[in-house]
Every structure is written in C-alpha cells, then in structure tokens.
Amino acid sequence: MTEVQDFAQRLIENIERVIVGKRASIQLAVLGLLSQGHLLIEDVPGVGKTMLARSLARSLGCTFGRLQFTPDLLPGDVTGVSIYNQATREFEFQPGPIMAQIVLIDEINRATPKTQAALLEAMEERQVTADGVTYGLPRPFMVLATQNPVEYEGTFALPEAQLDRFLMQIGLGYPDQDDEIEMLDRQQFHHPIEDLEPVATAEELLEAQDAIKSIYVSPAVKEYVVRLVKMTREHPDTYLGASPRGSLTLYRVGQARAALFGRDFVLPDDIKFIATAVLAHRMIVSPGARLRSVTAKEVLAAIFEELPVPEGNYSKRA
C-alpha cells in the first residue's frame, strides 16, 4: 500500500499549500476521493470550502466544474440542454457543469428540490439523462457540495435520500491564530491557488481507488462496523438511524484510511476516526432529543462509550 500512501500524501501536502492548518479535514476529503464518494461541506462562509474543491482538482489536473445554486436554477442548468443547430438542422447536446471530473456545487440548499434532484442520478449512477438520452460522466467523478449552516431564509433542506448519497459530511472551521497569520502572509501578494501545480494524475487516482479494495478487513472489524450502525438505529435518541449504505461506506472509507497510513488491514481506530463524518448526516434525532438540543454527533459519542472495541489480530487472514 505504499503507492497509495505516497499518492495520498502528495495530494494532502499540495492542498496544504492553500488550506492552512486543516490537515484532518483535508485527509477526509482525500479519503472521500479514494473511496469514490461525494462530500458535503457544511460550514460558515469564508473558511475555504471553495478553495478545498479547487485545490483538489488542480492537484490532480482534473477538469473542474462549478455551479452556484440559486432558487431560479433549472435542472437543465446542471445536466446540460439540447440546442437546435440551424446549420445542421439537428439538436446538439450542450453539456452542463456536471460533466466535469471534480464538481463544486456551491450552496446546494439554495436550489429548489427539483434542481437538487437532478444531482441524484449523477451522484449515484455516474450518468445524466437529458431529453431521453443518457450520457456517461467522466472518471474519476466527484461532487463537493457546500452549504451554510447559519442561514435558513431562502433555502431548501436536502431530503434524506440525497443526504444519504453523500459519502461524508465534513467541515473546516475557523483557523487558530497562528494559522490565520500564516494565511495572511501567504496571500500578501497573490493567492497560492494560482501557483498550485498537479502532483498526480487522474490515472493514478483510478489505480489507487482500485487498490484500496484489496485492503483486508477482519471479521471482528466487520462486526464492529455493523454493530455500530445497528446501534444508531436502536438508540433512544434516534428517530432514524444510518442505512446499510452507511455500513458499506464505513467499510470502504476504513480501507482508504488504512492505505493512507501504509497498512494493508483496517483497525477499529480507522472506523472511529471516520464514523462521525460518515454517519452523522445519515441520522435523524428524535423530537424529544431535539428539544434537549441533542445532536447526531453527541448520539454517536454516546454509542462509542458503550460499544466495546473488538480484540484480536486485525491483520491475520483466515
């Protein structure tokens, strides 16, 4: 797994030239990329959500598409439309921004549910359908969607079905004082994104995505994953727990994190590190818990206190 580790470290270090002091969030973004999933980045404006997406695309030399979601945006603005060409007397398909390899959806919750639904097919099936014709999306393909957690006027909450299709939900948060001073120094004359060069290729990414599938997951860790997800459904403060897609995601992202650290087997610590990012947005707390201001993250923390960590040799193959 040293090749995957080297690939991931190159990406992380290159992105850190733009995003200062947020290694844990950058690691999660790279894990999402390796796991062939999509990210929902929820945070306040101005902390670097757009820069993270642009840095990721530039580091890989991938094509980059950006959509600013607004209430008047139509599904065709996402997928593309067919336009009549008078010269050829035929309709020609004009691809939308979703046809890029790395796609940033800015303020996803500002578009209407109809437009949000246009993303579902692209995110799950890696294809779009326009005017009855299906078009495949490029490989690799990743959607990074952002939303503002503090503004609710003029927004439309994402339905549970769409939230479940995001591999992880992450945040960046405010930088600490030293990191913010370093950010000021770096941007004194120009933004570091302008100098960012590719450090890997899309072909290397596809090879890494295939390689992590061979990471060994012991029966004990598999049981740990399933018991964790099962407890999210049975906890008294939970109205709706994580779906089986949550179990599959924990499994795959756990493999990616093991590869990130050069291991060919998954540890329970890998699962614990990624569990909040993978499961919290898939859970709905009960009305009573909401009245007590209990969050899904707090429910997961309580579950981890109760759930014993499995013992054994996690690297031993049967």
Q: Where exactly are the structural domains of the chain? A: 2-208, 215-306
Strand ranges in the chain using DSSP code E only, listed in sequence order: 39-42, 64-68, 80-85, 90-95, 102-106, 127-130, 133-136, 142-147, 168-170, 238-240, 284-285
Query: Percentage of residues in the chain with pLDDT exceeding 70?
Result: 97
| CATH number for the domain whose boundaries are 2-208 | 3.40.50.300
Span of 118-122, 192-196, 206-210, 275-279 with lowest mean pLDDT: 118-122
Any bridge partners for residue 93, and if so which? 82
Task: Give the integer Cα–Cα distance in Å for 310 and 291.
Answer: 34
pLDDT higher than threshold 80 for residue 318: no
Highest mean pLDDT range out of 79-93, 140-154, 280-294? 280-294
The answer to whether domain 2-208 and domain 215-306 are alike in fold is: no
Distance of alpha carbon 128 from alpha carbon 305, whole angstroms:
43
In degrees, to the nearest 5, what angle opens at C-alpha 228 toward C-alphas 224 and 230?
A: 115
Tokens 């009573």 appear where?
A: 288
pTM: 0.88
Return the pLDDT at 87.
82
Q: Which residue has the tokens 């009305």?
A: 287
Q: What is the pLDDT of residue 261?
A: 92
CATH of 215-306, one of 1.10.8.80, 3.40.50.620, 3.40.50.10110, 3.40.120.10: 1.10.8.80
Burial call 196-209: b when 16+ CB within 10 Å, e when fewer: beebbebebbeebb
